[in-house]
Each structure stands twice: as C-alpha cells, then as structure tokens.
Amino acid sequence: MKKLMQLCCLALLFLPASLFAQFGQPMQQEEKPLAPVSGTYAIVNATIIPAPGKKIEQGTVVIKDGLIQAVGKNVTIPAEAIRIKGDSLFVYAGFIDGLSRAGVPKPKEETGPRPRDPGNPTPEQAGITPNADVRSVFSPGEKSVDDMRALGFTVAHVVPYGGMLPGMGAVVNLGGKNVDQAVLVPKAYLFSELTPAQRVYPNTVIGVIAKWRELYKQAVLSKNYESVYASNRSGLNRPANDRILESFYPVIDRKTTVMFEADRYLDIHRVFALQKETGFNVVLADIKDGADAINKIKAANTKVFLSLDLPEDKKEEKKDDKKDEKSNPEKEALLKRRAEAMSRIVNQSKMFASAGVPFGYASFTAKTSDIKANLRRMIAGGLTEDQALAALTINGAQILGLADRLGTIDPGKMGNLVVTDKPYFNEKSNVRYVFVDGIMFKYDVKDTRKPDATLNITGTWTVVNADKSEDKITLRKEGNGFAGSMTTARQSDALPLENVTLNGNKLKYSYTIQAGGQSLKTDVEVTVEGDSFKGNATTGSASPTPVTGKKDPNK
C-alpha cells in the first residue's frame, strides 16, 4: 500500500500545478478524451430542434443515466453535470437507419467448383438462412458503426448478409461496448430480398418467389401438424425439427413482420403479390424508384424506408460546336429520358411526402460518404428540411415501433442526440457531438487548410505552462509533416512529440509521460502568430489549461 501511494505521488509531480485545483470538483468541460467523471451532461444555450417544425432558442438539454431528463429554456442543471457550451450549436434527436449492415462484416465470397447438385443445394448455398441471427455477427466496434454515427445516426435496424432469406435483423444502438449492450430489439424483423442464388437454384427472381412461396406453405403445414401432435400424440409420428420452417412460425402468427428489400416498382409489385397470397405483414425497405407504386403503398397502408442511395449526377461535357453542328435526335432523346429518370429518383421523397405517405430512410446500399450530400440533393429537389428531418427521426421511430423511446427530444426518452455547429442540412455543417444511450462521442472538425507558407515553426520554442513552469520543444520538418521532442525541468530525458500537425496557423502536438507505471497524455492545441503561440493543453480528462510559446531566435 505504501509503495502504491509513492507511485501515485510520483505521477502527480509531472502535472502542472494549475491542474491540482481541479481534482475533487465536477468537470465542467466539453472535451473528454477519457471516461468522464459523470454520466450527466447539459448542453447549454443551444438551438434545440425537439421535433420537426419545432425550435427552442437558447435552450438546455440535460441527459442523465442514459435518458433525457429535461429540455427547455428554464432548466435546472444538476451539479454533477458536464456542461457543453451550446452557443452556435444545434441539437437534434438522433437519426434512425431503417435498414443497414453497419457493424456487420461482409463475408468472403466463396469460390470453387460448381456444386454437384445445383438443383438441390444446401440452404446456405441457396441463401436460405432465416434462422440466422444478426447478433451473432454484429460488432459495435466496426468502423462502419462509427462512420454512420459520425453522420448523426444513433440507431439502426441491422441485418445479416445473405441471399433471399439472410436471417433475423435487430434494432441496435450505434454504440455500446458489446452486442448485448447495443441491442434494443432482438429479432426485430425477418429480412428478405429478391436476390437470386449464384450457380444454384433459385438463381432467378421468379425462382426466388417460387421458393419463398414453397417454404411459407411448408411452414404452415409443419406448424399445423405440430399443433395437432401437441393435442394428441398417440399414433402420430413425432414432428421433424426444421429450424428454417420454424423461423416462419412467428411470421405466420403475425407476431413478426417481414422486411423486404424492394428497390423498384416491379419488385414492390412482386412483394405485394406474394404478400396477398400468403398473408404475412410486410415493411418495404431501400426503395430507390418507387414513385409509381405510391398509390398502391398508400392504399395498403404499408410502412416504407426509402433509400439514401442516389445515382451519381454526371454532368454533361461541354459540347464541341464543330463536332455537333448536326443535331443527334436519338442522343438528345436518350439524354432527356436519363434526366427524367434521375429527377424521378431524386424527387422520390418529395413525391411520397406530397402523397401523405410517411417514410423513413435506409442506408442499406448507400455509400456513407454520399449520404449527407444525397439528402441535400433531395431537399434541392423540393423536399422540405422538416420532411427530411422527420424521415430521419420520428418517422423511423414510429415504423420500428419505438416512438415512445426515440425520434424526438422529450424528457424520459433515450439520450440519443446529434449536435452540429450549423443547421444539419447546411453544406458547411459539421457534427460535433453524438450521444448514444447517454454516452458522448466527440467529433473534431477536420481543418483542411494547408499550412501557412509564411510560418516557420521549425526550431526550438520555450513553452510557459499555467503554473509558470517552462518546457522546451524542438520542431523539425520530417517528410511532408513535422516531428519533434520536448525537454522539461521535471525530468532529464527528452520526450518525443506525437501527432504534430500544422493546419493553417493551428499547431497541434501531444506527449506522453510515463510515471509510476501510468501513462499521462497531454494534448496541446495552439494558434501560431509569427514567433509566438498561445492556446491550451489538456492532460487526461482534466480541463484545459492555458499555454504560451516563444520561439528562441538563435535555435
């Protein structure tokens, strides 16, 4: 015990004196690279959009124990709350993805000889695995989860990879340390596609529909026989165990809904025909070009998730007057049809909204990097920002049956929020914070400016800390970037500087001190003006302290 106390004291010797006054007090600071000392947050003086069409100026949102505790103008902030200054920030309910594979690793494509009996393949070869559960493959730590979360998405209905019947999807929080912590609704939907198998039956869309119909009818017979056997087993053969058919039982009882990926009108028509014949409940998802099916969808009161994927908007090259002296009617007609098709797809959301059909959004086939730009394209085509926000929040929550927990910023709902530095649909907006189940994720704005050519940061600098102690840092050019080292009166050996970057006149670097078996990392961010700089240093989870620097003229 005595030795442990000595090590702790040794570690504290390396901290600037200005940090000691902070220990034992609640952290009132927004940047928390390590685990926070409190699970309570208060976003103060922000513009809050509690629901589409509503706004609270200079309001406060309090999150405590994973739930929204309070929202409004006159809100009492708990003493233990970590305060986030909300000036110029905008707060929205966390976005919801209706069909996604975020966090689900893509399986390797199978190669090899053609199956011996392509007309009678195994269920796995045929893409028939309705008994599979996405929870067995979902990983909250996958990069795709963070990519979606960085866009403001906090909840997604994720599904496994596969063929016509990949398996059961689950509604998950895009956060959490493990699968069980992330899952909100296990076995939420039986997911299905009209995707043919490769090299085996069913290898056509018509074959997929025929096989789907066959499996469903077999499941009905199997379920009925099990019911008869359970009532009187005498003289009856024991029912065979068939996990594939058993996966249909909740669908037959209408306790589980089938979510069908159907991106175009013909697929939508086929799914409706199959549903009419069998009677299962259905949600249509990842619709890309479904405008012609709007009346049918509305009449059936079917819930839908439209695709966030849009075709690339290719600009026509400038015509060469000499080469195009003669018009080409066929080419002009082709370009006109392509433009009309593009317009129909981009304006699909507007048409669904105008027809009064509520919809959410699905990222299923969309590139993460295109999603925000695609939303702006839809808005430019006539979709209002409130309609787009509704699709991302409350509509998605209602379709998934989670409107009592998600979709708006109301007391008692889950602490899922997205915080931006400008209105979300503004082209220059950046996501700064995302809260998932009350846990904060901070996103720094990437400075894409090139280093100021007039600045020369190489050389030796004297750095003055908040406690008036002085350090020496030496910066040098290394490749296309910078590197350096630091010496301090508190230790004899030089420390390497980490992550040295210069964007414009913003200089960042870090260093780590090893003391008593512990690592104490300090991040420094300063603004350089000529031969001096000033900014802040943040050690661990403590609040930032001011630092200044002066370049040594002779070094």
The torsion of the CA quartet 8, 9, 10, 13, rounded to 10 degrees, works out to 120
Asked whether 28 and 82 are in contact (CB, 8 A), the reply is yes
Asked whether 358 and 395 are in contact (CB, 8 A), the reply is yes
381, exposed or middle or buried, with CB in 10 Å at 0-12, 13-18, 19+? Answer: middle
pLDDT at 334: 82
When pLDDT is cut at 50, 70 and 90, the band that residue 26 belongs to is very low
pLDDT at 331: 83
Cα distance between residue 541 and residue 418, in whole Å: 22
Residue 4 has pLDDT above 80, yes or no: no
pLDDT at 13: 43
Mean pLDDT, range 514-535, rounded to an integer? 84
pLDDT at 277: 95
pLDDT digits (tens, 9 = 90+) for 282-298: 999 999 999 999 999 99
The tokens describing 39, both together, are 């699970």
Residue 487 has pLDDT above 50, yes or no: yes
Q: How many CB atoms lie within 10 A of CB 11?
A: 17
pLDDT at 313: 75
Asked whether 28 and 368 are in contact (CB, 8 A), the reply is no
When pLDDT is cut at 50, 70 and 90, the band that residue 391 belongs to is very high
In sign, the C-alpha dihedral spanning 442, 448, 451, 454 is: negative
Nearest to 319 by CA among 330, 328, 310: 328
pLDDT at 37: 57
Neighbouring C-alpha atoms within 13 Å toward the C-beta of 334: 6
pLDDT at 36: 55
Mean pLDDT, range 212-221, rounded to an integer? 97
When pLDDT is cut at 50, 70 and 90, the band that residue 350 belongs to is very high
pLDDT digits (tens, 9 = 90+) for 91-138: 999 999 999 999 999 888 766 677 778 888 999 999 999 999 999 999
Task: Quickly list DSSP for 165-215.
Answer: B-EEEEEEES--SSHHHHEEEEEEEEEEE-PPPSSSSS-SHHHHHHHHHHH
When pLDDT is cut at 50, 70 and 90, the band that residue 318 belongs to is very low
pLDDT at 452: 65
Indicate the pTM of the whole model. 0.75
Cα distance between residue 367 and residue 364, in whole Å: 9
pLDDT at 295: 97
Residue 300 has pLDDT above 70, yes or no: yes
Asked whether 44 and 81 are in contact (CB, 8 A), the reply is no
pLDDT at 23: 36
CATH number for region 40-94+407-437: 2.30.40.10
pLDDT at 115: 75
What amino acid is encoded at 551 in this protein? K
Asked whether 449 and 503 are in contact (CB, 8 A), the reply is yes
Distance from chain centroid for Cα 156:
8
Domains 97-108+119-205+253-316+328-402 and 459-551 are alike in CATH topology: no
Query: Which of 76-85, 272-281, 454-463 is the least confident region?
Result: 454-463
pLDDT digits (tens, 9 = 90+) for 410-468: 999 999 999 999 999 999 999 999 999 999 999 988 655 556 667 889 999 999 998 88
When pLDDT is cut at 50, 70 and 90, the band that residue 329 belongs to is confident
Mean pLDDT, range 157-183, rounded to an integer? 96
Query: CATH number of 97-108+119-205+253-316+328-402: 3.20.20.140, 3.50.50.60, 3.30.70.1400, 2.140.10.10?
Result: 3.20.20.140
Tokens 């249509």 correspond to 284
Residue 348 has pLDDT above 90, yes or no: yes
Residue 157 has pLDDT above 80, yes or no: yes
Q: How many CB atoms lie within 10 A of CB 365?
A: 14
Query: Which of 24-33, 67-76, 271-280, 515-524 is the least confident region?
Result: 24-33
The tokens describing 31, both together, are 């940047």
What amino acid is encoded at 81 in this protein? A
Residue 490 has pLDDT above 90, yes or no: no
Backbone angles phi, psi at 158, to 5 degrees: -100, 145
Domain spans, the chain: 40-94+407-437, 97-108+119-205+253-316+328-402, 459-551
pLDDT at 19: 40
Asked whether 283 and 399 are in contact (CB, 8 A), the reply is yes
Cα distance between residue 358 and residue 412, in whole Å: 25
More confident residue, 517 or 174: 174
Residue 10 has pLDDT above 70, yes or no: no
pLDDT at 500: 92
In percent, the amount of the chain with pLDDT more than 90 equals: 72
Residue 276 has pLDDT above 90, yes or no: yes
Residue 31 has pLDDT above 70, yes or no: no
Asked whether 478 and 459 are in contact (CB, 8 A), the reply is no
Distance set, CA 188 to CA 332, 352, 489 (Å): 48, 25, 60
CATH number for region 459-551: 2.40.128.20
Mean pLDDT, range 465-476, rounded to an integer? 91
Q: How many CB atoms lie within 10 A of CB 260?
A: 27
